[in-house]
Structure 1
Amino acid sequence: MRLKPTLGGEGLTLAALLVFAAALMVTPLALLLRTGLMAEGLPTLQPMLDALTSRPVPRALWHSLESAALSAGLALVIGVGVALVVGLTDLRGKAVFTFLLLIPMMIPPHVTAIAWTQALGPSSPLLGALGLAPPPGTPHPLYGRGGVIALLAVQSMPLVFLVTLAALRSLPREMAEAARIAGARAPRLLGRVILPLLAPSLLAAYALAFVSALGNFGIPALLGIPGRYITLPVLIWQRLSSFGPSMLADVAVLSALMALLAIAVVAVQMTLARRFRAALIGPAQAPLSLRLGRWRPATEAAMTALVLVTLALPMAALFGTALVPTYGVALSWQTLTFDNFAEVLFRQGVTARAFLNSTLAASAAALILSGLGALTARLIAGRARGPRRAGLALSSLAETTYAIPGLVISIAFILTFLRPLPGLGVSIYNTLWIIVLAYLCAFFAVALKPVTAACLQLDPALDEAARVAGAGWGRRLTRIFLPLIAPAAASGAILVFLTAYNEVTVSALLWSTGTETIGTAIYNYEDGGYTTLAAAMAAVTVVATVVLMALLDLLGRRLPPGVVPWRL
């Protein structure tokens, strides 16, 4: 008799999650695919084939695949190397290096592009102040293929580093210790034991870096357009800006092509991960601490150089541009001015609106997705076959929507919510709500990953004991499950907030006057030629992001382990 309320509560939870997935994940993507793969009311691949026969689309497709593959490979090599040094050696200052290396991942891609163009170009205030600026008229070294690939790698490297570091922490030490006892030195230990065990995680890291670069809009737009290196997201944005009679149909076809490409990448990654998976025995333990010996000073110097190149140099150039009256003027005591900061902070109303909108949208998405992620993870870890399969299906769907580029998500939501909501007569198009809902679709996997990992580690005997004692679904959920996985849910919420707070790809096509986000405001300044104002607002955004991460890091010292995802 006590089983009925449990099934009822679990059934209602499952029904609510399925409604969420159907409304915000399945329906928009289905409408997108229907629009892109339909002709005269019948399903056909002809629109996509027609697009692939035109000259711009195959070139943009190749540029997207090339830049994503090469930048992900470069990010994998650097990110894995850095993770091995931080995770397995006696490097000093690990927490500081980890914090600094993860900052570029939290900085919007278009801000990264702006910072680097201002760091190395002929008009660089920083190089001008040092007397190292190239002669006027010199082509910018970052415009084009090489610059796009290099900065995409810089943007993706911290993601690879974080995934690999987490995987290192989850490995039991028995096999590594056995290899060391048998006389295996560090290179052989890495090549024969650690890296093979990390193979599924490395595949996942490469796939994440690949799809992140594939859907990146800010870096290819700011560096690729001047260098005539157009990727598919940029081509979609250009087509959407054309306002022609067939604009929406053309954009839907290109978006469907990108969606299918992202789904294929996820499917290949999951297949390879299953093939390379190795069964591990024993719980996760503290990782190894290999002694660097006489190589430690050189290793620490190399890590410091990496931080200086990937973070300090572009940020110095960004602030240098924000502190001069006009772009191209060398920074000196005579040219130093704070007028750009005063303009964006006190005179431009769009700045306050953008920060408020981004804070509200990111906070709402983080809170909602942390709750939905916890409920989904509970289903995945349950013993009932039906709910568990439904939870796994939701997890796979979340992985797919995360892999689909943000611009494609935007197009799907435009197609879905362009008309008023059926039965309500209320339109959310051109409101902040459509951006929040798009965030729920795009970033569900970010909140789900940490809470699922934590949920699968819980002893099912706790739930069984509560069930025997007569506790229903809701009571077991609130008194046992949620308190235990709260740190992981908080970690997911923090990651969602930081990801959504500075993004531009999802909101680039969904914003309107009054609903600007931080990312769109910065991009609009730069696109409109107001380079110093763009630099000033980008600098404020970087400071706000770093301060927020620092506060979370300090707070993490008093919180349970795992709440702040980057803390060692």
Structure 2
Amino acid sequence: MPTTKRSLPISLEDRVNIGRFVPLRDRGLHALLGGLTFYLIVITGWPLGRLLAEVFFSIKDNPSFIKEVLTAPASARAFRNTAEAAFWASALSVLVGTLGALLVTLTDIRLKRLLSFLILLPMLIPSQITALAWKMMVDFISKPGSPNPLYSREGVILVLGIEHSTLVFLSVRASLQGLPWDLVEAARVLGARPLRIIRTVILPLIAPGILAGFALSFVAGIGNFGVPALLGIPGRFPVLTTLIYRKLNGFGPSVLGETAILSLALMGLAGLGLSLRAFASRRVSVAVIKTQSIRSLFPLGVHRLPVEGGMFLLFLSISLLPLIALAATSFVPAVGVLLTPDTFTLGNYRAGLSQDAVVRAFSVSLKLSTITALVCVGVSIPLAYCAVIRKVPLSHSLVLLADAPYAIPGIVVSISMILAFLKPLPLVGSLYGTAGILFIAYASRFLSLALMPTLAGAEQFDRHLEEAASMAGARTFRRLRTVVFPSVLPSAFSGGLLVFMAALNEITVSSLLWSAGNETIGVMIYAMHYEGNSPQAAAISMISVLIVVAIALTISKLGKSLPEGVIPWRG
């Protein structure tokens, strides 16, 4: 009998052209790309496009409308305050973050892990809880009846600067770990003292990292809503995020055109910061040859004890002390009452958790955070597969689209979602005022958090495994499910935990999208504080902080088996 020769699928190596894998007749891959493209257009492309269209339609009949909005006294003042607060807060972040990175990375200071935890603690705490904690701390040390000094321009700058110093710390520490240490060693051999080496050799080399940290802090500052809302509104220090919030809360959809223009102004400021970061990133040194361990590059000698004492006192004061004040407030019957055995009470926890709105807010936030994390992980794995393992050119554009909502201010994401889903859509109707619009906004906003670790995990994947499965006849979806998914899942899971942690206490996006019956934890804390229920707000905040810290510890435990770069605070 004549034998029938069965042709094997084309191997990956036969499809590689100048380092790029070009899919040929791969219907599964095309279907996967089509699904990813449709998903990202729905949750990101369409809302952002709708925002631009709203601006266009607003000026179509009145070309001077943009000028009228931006030159209005309230807008001009908010724009100036936003840029000013973000700039000075970023400068403070650079001072605190760079100092911490230099001492932790270059000296023989003891308890480095504990000090790093204190430095990075503000990164784990939501902005509205950070602002509330600082407000409580200053209330404790202020004279009774005196106004809180944090309700001011300086208060907003101080808290923003402390909160975002972690971004500078991470950026500068990464630059220090990538330095060409032979230059530093040469300076030491020539007799240069440590301070001179830092000033003339190390600081110029890590300047791009410092600049990148400044840019990241600036972008985070202009998009921050929690701190300006809790400290700036009472202090009559409006910024663009709070101006947009108050306009929409006061006038509703009738001012969508105006708020869309203000959102573009906010995006313009964010664009400046991102451009500065890109400029700095292109100048980061890639020489990573280390001539010695950097753990004790500059021994402190007799100065070690006072330096350690000063550093721990500084970071205990700015990271842990506000949380202690927040916890103390949650255990007293009223603001201003000192915590003693006689005044200690759990009444705030009982009263807060007995409210239907609070219980509902926890339920909504936990459900939204869980579903968002699962969906983001489910999208990140195939997207990383296309971008890193299969190297499909289109997938790189999809990665940029997925990163966009996290790079721009959250209030802009809220406006774009309102514009996209306010009017009824076929089959689903209007999503505005439902949990659906919150989910879409979260899925769009936090996809980048799950994608970054997943991309890092995919970089470690052995492509020969996928090639072997292809040669054995496994189609795209089967290879993705049985070969790629198990290998990349640990990194993707850690990204999902980051998404859960960020979404649980989110307030910037939720502030404009929540509705009765769909309150979130962040919104409830903000509302309770402004209703005068600060002790109950502190109690709910402490529960949220404990949840976040527990998740962070879980991620840290997983970090031992994950690739470098997956966990932001892992050094």
Q: What TM-score do you get using the length of structure 2 for normalisation?
A: 0.87
Structure 2 residue matching 1:443: 3-state secondary structure: helix
Contact conserved, 1:266 with 1:400, CA < 8 A, in 2?
Answer: no
Structure 2 residue matching 1:242: 3-state secondary structure: helix
Deviates more, 1:49-58 or 1:396-405: 396-405
Give 1:378-393 correspondences, 5 Å limit.
378-382=385-389, 384=391, 387-388=392-393, 390-393=394-397
Task: Report what 2:255 is aligned to.
Answer: 247
Contact conserved, 1:168 with 1:287, CA < 8 A, in 2?
Answer: no
Contact conserved, 1:410 with 1:438, CA < 8 A, in 2?
Answer: yes
1:358 paired to 2:365: yes
2:291 & 2:461 partners in 1: Cα distance?
14
1:299 paired to 2:307: yes
Q: Mark the structure with the bigger radius of gyration.
A: 2
Residues 355, 339 of structure 1: CA spacing in aligned structure 2 closer, same or farther, 3 A cutoff?
Answer: same
Residues 168, 362 of structure 1: CA spacing in aligned structure 2 closer, same or farther, 3 A cutoff?
Answer: farther
Task: Report what 2:170 is aligned to.
Answer: 162
Give 1:72's aligned amino acid.
Answer: S
Task: Report what 2:15 is aligned to.
Answer: none
1:119 paired to 2:109: no
> Once the 2 structures are TM-superposed, how far is the Cα of residue 77 of structure 1 from its aligned partner?
2.3
Among 69, 76, 90, which residue is 2:87 paired with?
69
Residues 40, 155 of structure 1: CA spacing in aligned structure 2 closer, same or farther, 3 A cutoff?
Answer: closer
Give 2:224's aligned amino acid.
Answer: N
1:67 & 1:31 partners in 2: Cα distance?
29
* 1:61-93 C-alpha deviation (Å, 9 max, x unpaired): 010011111111211221122123223333322
Contact conserved, 1:37 with 1:45, CA < 8 A, in 2?
Answer: no
Structure 1 residue matching 2:513: 3-state secondary structure: coil
2:424 & 2:309 partners in 1: Cα distance?
58
Task: Report what 1:413 is aligned to.
Answer: 417
Task: Report what 1:134 is aligned to.
Answer: 143
Give 1:24-423 correspondences, 5 Å limit.
24-39=43-58, 41=60, 46-121=64-139, 124=140, 127=141, 133-136=142-145, 138-169=146-177, 186-187=194-195, 189-191=197-199, 194-243=202-251, 246-274=254-282, 276-280=283-287, 288-290=295-297, 291-345=299-353, 347-382=354-389, 384=391, 387-388=392-393, 390-422=394-426
Structure 2 residue matching 1:37: 3-state secondary structure: helix
Structure 2 residue matching 1:214: 3-state secondary structure: helix
Residues 406, 245 of structure 1: CA spacing in aligned structure 2 closer, same or farther, 3 A cutoff?
Answer: closer
Contact conserved, 1:494 with 1:564, CA < 8 A, in 2?
Answer: no
Deviates more, 1:1-10 or 1:393-402: 1-10
Give 1:36's aligned amino acid.
Answer: V
> Once the 2 structures are TM-superposed, how far is the Cα of residue 268 of structure 1 from its aligned partner?
4.0
* 1:199-243 C-alpha deviation (Å, 9 max, x unpaired): 444333222211111111111112112221110011111111212
Contact conserved, 2:232 with 2:238, CA < 8 A, in 1?
Answer: yes
1:78 & 1:317 partners in 2: Cα distance?
22
Contact conserved, 1:39 with 1:47, CA < 8 A, in 2?
Answer: yes
Give 1:349's aligned amino acid.
Answer: D
> Once the 2 structures are TM-superposed, how far is the Cα of residue 484 of structure 1 from its aligned partner?
4.1
2:470 & 2:197 partners in 1: Cα distance?
46
Query: Which structure 1 residue ranges, 5 or more long, are not aligned?
Result: 128-132
1:21 paired to 2:24: no
Residues 56, 548 of structure 1: CA spacing in aligned structure 2 closer, same or farther, 3 A cutoff?
Answer: same
Residues 289, 500 of structure 1: CA spacing in aligned structure 2 closer, same or farther, 3 A cutoff?
Answer: farther
1:101 & 1:141 partners in 2: Cα distance?
24
Give 1:435's aligned amino acid.
Answer: L
Residues 58, 513 of structure 1: CA spacing in aligned structure 2 closer, same or farther, 3 A cutoff?
Answer: same
Contact conserved, 1:5 with 1:473, CA < 8 A, in 2?
Answer: no
Structure 2 residue matching 1:333: 3-state secondary structure: coil
Structure 2 residue matching 1:508: 3-state secondary structure: helix
Residues 271, 7 of structure 1: CA spacing in aligned structure 2 closer, same or farther, 3 A cutoff?
Answer: farther
1:161 & 1:75 partners in 2: Cα distance?
8
Task: Report what 2:538 is aligned to.
Answer: 535
1:287 & 1:564 partners in 2: Cα distance?
21
> Once the 2 structures are TM-superposed, how far is the Cα of residue 11 of structure 1 from its aligned partner?
2.2
1:435 & 1:115 partners in 2: Cα distance?
26
Give 1:404's aligned amino acid.
Answer: I
* 1:220-277 C-alpha deviation (Å, 9 max, x unpaired): 1121122211100111111112126842222222123222332343234324433x24
Among 510, 514, 517, which residue is 1:514 paired with?
517
1:197 & 1:15 partners in 2: Cα distance?
44
> Once the 2 structures are TM-superposed, how far is the Cα of residue 118 of structure 1 from its aligned partner?
1.7
Give 1:414-453 correspondences, 5 Å limit.
414-422=418-426, 424-453=427-456
1:343 & 1:208 partners in 2: Cα distance?
39
> Once the 2 structures are TM-superposed, how far is the Cα of residue 507 of structure 1 from its aligned partner?
0.7
Give 1:403's aligned amino acid.
Answer: A
Contact conserved, 2:225 with 2:241, CA < 8 A, in 1?
Answer: yes
> Once the 2 structures are TM-superposed, how far is the Cα of residue 156 of structure 1 from its aligned partner?
0.7
> Once the 2 structures are TM-superposed, how far is the Cα of residue 288 of structure 1 from its aligned partner?
4.6
Task: Report what 2:19 is aligned to.
Answer: none
Give 1:205's aligned amino acid.
Answer: G
Residues 164, 398 of structure 1: CA spacing in aligned structure 2 closer, same or farther, 3 A cutoff?
Answer: farther
Contact conserved, 1:344 with 1:537, CA < 8 A, in 2?
Answer: yes
Contact conserved, 1:171 with 1:285, CA < 8 A, in 2?
Answer: no
CA-based RMSD: 3.1
Give 2:101's aligned amino acid.
Answer: A
Structure 2 residue matching 1:545: 3-state secondary structure: helix
Q: What TM-score do you get using the length of structure 1 for normalisation?
A: 0.87
Structure 1 residue matching 2:26: 3-state secondary structure: helix
Contact conserved, 1:72 with 1:209, CA < 8 A, in 2?
Answer: yes
Contact conserved, 2:144 with 2:336, CA < 8 A, in 1?
Answer: no
Residues 263, 320 of structure 1: CA spacing in aligned structure 2 closer, same or farther, 3 A cutoff?
Answer: same
